[in-house]
């Protein structure tokens, strides 16, 4: 699983649901028309900042997760090592500054916020800019 997928899954509270048991087929009356199948509803958008703020509060802080990629990864209980951040930079196409530099970490943080929004998260402009 990619690092970004892990970030997004943690924010959404992703849990792999158990496969539901298939209901036993029932015979329909011969004269009854088949019921239309409704399309699956899209998942509701996720208020990313609210979720992360609640997580930080539950942990008694959370550091500066709004601007620090390291603190964000730590808040989500993910690997925040230089190796992990290099991999995340590769996934997101971030090529600003040297690996581990403040320039790259800032660019990486902004790229994560932009990707969270692109995946259906509600991200305030203050986090994307």
What is the domain partition of the chain in residue ranges? 1-12+47-122
Would you state the torsion angle of the CA atoms of residues 45, 49, 50, 53, taken in this order, to the nearest 10 degrees?
150
Q: Judge whether 96 and 21 are in contact, CB under 8 Å.
A: no
pLDDT classification of 17: cutoffs 50, 70, 90: very low
Give the list of residues 6+ apart from residue 48 with CB closer than 8 angstroms, or none: 11, 113, 116, 117, 121, 122, 123, 127
β-bridge mates for residue 47, sequence order: 122
Report yes or no: 52 and 62 within 8 Å, Cβ to Cβ.
Answer: yes
Which pTM was predicted? Answer: 0.75
| 35-62 pLDDT per residue, tens | 666 666 667 889 999 999 999 999 988 8
């Amino acid at each position: 699983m990619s690092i970004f997928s892990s970030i997004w899954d943690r924010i959404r509270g992703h849990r792999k649901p158990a496969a539901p048991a298939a209901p036993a087929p029932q015979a329909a009356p011969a004269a009854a028309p088949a019921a239309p199948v409704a399309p699956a509803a899209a998942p509701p958008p996720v208020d990313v900042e609210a979720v992360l703020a609640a997580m930080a509060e539950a942990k008694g802080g959370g550091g500066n997760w709004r601007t620090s990629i390291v603190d964000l990864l730590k808040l989500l209980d993910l690997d925040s090592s230089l190796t992990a951040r290099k991999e995340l930079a590769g996934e997101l196409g971030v090529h600003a500054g040297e690996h581990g530099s403040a320039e790259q970490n800032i660019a990486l943080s902004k790229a994560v916020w932009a990707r969270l929004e692109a995946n259906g998260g509600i991200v305030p402009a203050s986090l994307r800019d």
